Every structure is written in structure tokens, then in C-alpha cells.
Amino acid sequence: MSLVRQSIPVARPVLDRAEADAAGRAILSGWVTQGPEVHSFEREFAAAVGAPHACAVSNCTTALHLALRAAGVGPGDEVVTVSHSFIASANAVRYCGATPVFVDIDPATFNMDASRVDAAVRPRTRAILAVHQLGMPCDMAKLVEIARRRYLPLIEDAACAAGSEILWNGRWEPIGKPHGDAACFSFHPRKVITTGDGGMITTRHEDWDTQFRLWRQHGMSIPDTVRHHASSVTFEEYPTLGYNYRMTDIQAAVGREQLKRLAGIVARRRELANRYRERLAGRLPQVVLPHEPEWARSNWQSFCVRLPRPVDQRAVMQAMLERGISTRRGVMCAHQEAAYASEPWHCGDRGPVSCVCGPRRCRALAHSEQATREGLILPLFTQMTDVDQDEVVDALAAALSLCAV
């Protein structure tokens, strides 16, 4: 395989001297694991999204695991969620010993179709796990109503959604407030703000937050910071099974600087998304543009278009790559991956058995599968210039012309 120079990457984090100095501050302090920087980052993140509690963890997958565990999800339970998401969403359900029940997406937003959730809830359902896909908020008004009516915890996979907002009771409110029971964020470099890797759980439940803090550090009864400042010898205890899900102070120090940039990053990404809309609508009307409902403000973590049928997605991506333009396919479907040929799952329309449509095709998840086949994520990052965007549009136009069937 020959290497192609990527002149325009699909994403690029916003990092400079401020983050380097912050990391250096933590390193030179002598306290580099979970400590005072983590505590400050949690407090500042909670304030930024209006959450009563925020707990920093090692990544969003561990955040989802802990949130589901706090919701009481365990072996033999079911969790209603979507297959159309990064595989971590389904995997976190399996970590609890539960079975994911996949419902199809709304093809306009790529998010869980709330109208399908009620039918997927059955006696073994323990929670609903909704995904704010690519930063586009879910229809939380409908999902919260369903969750409360069915007495189910609602967990938000907000991995991509830092800085996104929804119109809630007449006011714009941040994703992460939270509007369900807990919201889980990622700080991977592909996200709008990054700590290299890392995650955050926000919740409105004080008892859940207490459990998160216990579980993330092996179930240790006394945090390192408390023991370090104690005036007498203190022995910790381990009253429950826990995990090593901690964030380091080096990461948190970087995160604090990133959080200061969040509003500006989102504003710029929204400008770029609008410019993409203008250029693509005028140049390539056959390409379906992403839909933002009137009650949602996306942070545009990714800008995913739909290619016209029957264009070959891989061929388009390869043609763009050969021009130096990096892209990504549409969001994956977990049920189509080899791991879920042996892991238990079923679709919300088919009852408590595995889907009989085949290991990689499910009639009940047709919109999800189509979005994976036809989706194309275009480069979008804060430092992107008008010239960069025009080059991407030119490359897409040339690729579509070349790959037309």
C-alpha cells in the first residue's frame, strides 16, 4: 500500500502553548495522577454545562460503563440503544452483562428514532442509552417523557456533544446538564475539546456521583488527596469492586485550558458547517446535507453528508484521499461488526431473540445500515480555511464524477 500525503485531515485538535504550559504545570507540581487539577476540571466542567455533579474518568467508554452500572444494569438485563454508533456504546452494555436492544435511527438526524423506543421496552429493560450522534442532539424531550413514563433511567452518550445545545422549556441549554439521569463525554482528539484521551460523567444524582468516584479508583474508600493531607496515619478500605478508570492531573490541566476555548471552537465550527451547506447546495445538489432540527444546536463535531445512490462510498473516499483529502465513512453499525456475530443482541422490532435477518443485515435497522453505507464525513476543524473547504468541495465533486455508476 502506497502512502498518500494528507494535506487536509478529517480533524485537527486545537492545542498550543497554553495547553503545553498547563501540562508542564501539572508535571512540575509533583502530582501527576488524579488530584487537584482533576478536581478543578470537574468543577469547571460542571459549571460550564450547568450540571450538579461531574466526575472525570479515563475515557467515555468507562464513563458509559459506570453510568449503566449506577443505573442498575446487570447480567440478564436489556438496554434500549442504537447500533448506529461507535461500537463502545454497545460494548458498555455488554460490560455490564446486559444485552443491547437496537432500535433504528431517524434518517434525517442519524439519532435514535424516539417513536420506536416504546415498542423496544420489555420486562427485562433496565435503561435507555441515547447517543447524540456526531454532536447532533437527540430528541431529548420525547426520550425523557418515555423514560419517565416507563420508570427507566436515561443515559446520554454525549461522547461527541460537548458544546451542543437543545431548546428546553423555551431556553437553550447545554447537553450535559443533564436532561436524563447521566451524560457521558469523550475528550478523544477527534472531539471538539481534548485531553489526549479522557471522559466525564455529569449527573443530577448525588448518590450516583458518589458511586462513580468510588468505582473509578478501585473502590478505594479514601481518595489519595484526602490521605495525602491527613494529619494522622489513615488506612483505606475497599468496600466494593472497583476499576482503574482515573484521569491524570496532566490530562485535566490540559482539559481546563480546552474548556476555556469551547465556546469559540463551537462558534467557528458552526460557521464552517454553514459554509459547507452553502457551497455544497450550490455545487452538488445531489448530495444530502445533514439536518439540524429547530430545537437543536450542534457543535458539528463531524459534518456527515449522504452520497447519492448508487455511488460507491469507498471509491469516493479513495479518490479524495488521492487528492490529499482525508474522509471517514458513515457511522458504523455495531450489529454489522464481527464481534456482534457472537455477542448477544436483538433489534427492538423482533422480540427477545437475536435478529433472524442475518449477521450483518437487519430489516428492522434499515435506516441505520443505509446511513453507514451512504454517509461520508468531510474534514472539519477549527483551523480550516475557506481555501481548505473549497478544496474539499472540489475533490468531492471530482470524486462523484469519477465514481458515478
Mean pLDDT of the 260-280 span: 98
CA distance 325 to 322: 7
Taking only the tens place, the pLDDT of each residue in 37-53 is 999 999 999 999 999 99
- Same domain as 163, residue 59: yes
CATH code, domain with 63: 3.40.640.10
pTM attached to this predicted model: 0.94
Strand partners, 80: 101, 128
Taking residue 272's Cβ as centre, other Cβ atoms within 10 Å add up to 22
Give the burial class of 181: count Cβ atoms within 10 A of its Cβ; 0-12 exposed, 13-18 middle, 19 or more buried: buried
Taking only the tens place, the pLDDT of each residue in 62-88 is 999 999 999 999 999 999 999 999 999
First-to-final CA distance of the chain:
26
**According to the model, what pLDDT value does residue 222 have?**
77
- Same domain as 182, residue 46: yes
Place of cell 458498555: 92
**According to the model, what pLDDT value does residue 226 have?**
72
CA distance 24 to 192: 22
- Same domain as 173, residue 268: no
Question: In the structure, what pLDDT confidence band is assigned to residue 57 with cuts at 50, 70 and 90?
Answer: very high
Taking only the tens place, the pLDDT of each residue in 172-187 is 999 999 899 999 999 9
- Same domain as 307, residue 211: no
Establish if 344 belongs to a structural domain: no
- Same domain as 118, residue 55: yes
Taking only the tens place, the pLDDT of each residue in 286-336 is 999 999 999 999 999 999 999 998 889 999 999 999 999 999 999 999 999
Q: Rounding to the nearest 10 degrees, give the CA dihedral for residues 78, 81, 86, 87.
A: 20
**According to the model, what pLDDT value does residue 357 have?**
60
Q: Is the dihedral of CA 378, 384, 390, 394 positive or negative?
A: negative
**Domain end marker among 261, 280, 307:** 261
pLDDT higher than 70, residue 133: yes
- Same domain as 98, residue 152: yes
Q: Rounding to the nearest 10 degrees, give the CA dihedral for residues 301, 307, 312, 318.
A: -40
pLDDT higher than 80, residue 356: no
**Domain end marker among 207, 229, 261:** 261
Establish if 335 belongs to a structural domain: no
Which domain does 293 fall in, by range? Answer: 263-330+368-403
Establish if 205 belongs to a structural domain: yes
CATH code, domain with 392: 3.90.1150.10
**According to the model, what pLDDT value does residue 350 have?**
60
What is the β-pairing status of strands 99-103 and 78-82?
parallel
**According to the model, what pLDDT value does residue 7 have?**
87
**Considering the chain, what is the average pLDDT of its residues?**
94
**According to the model, what pLDDT value does residue 358 have?**
59
Q: Which amino acid is at 317?
A: M
- Same domain as 267, residue 249: no
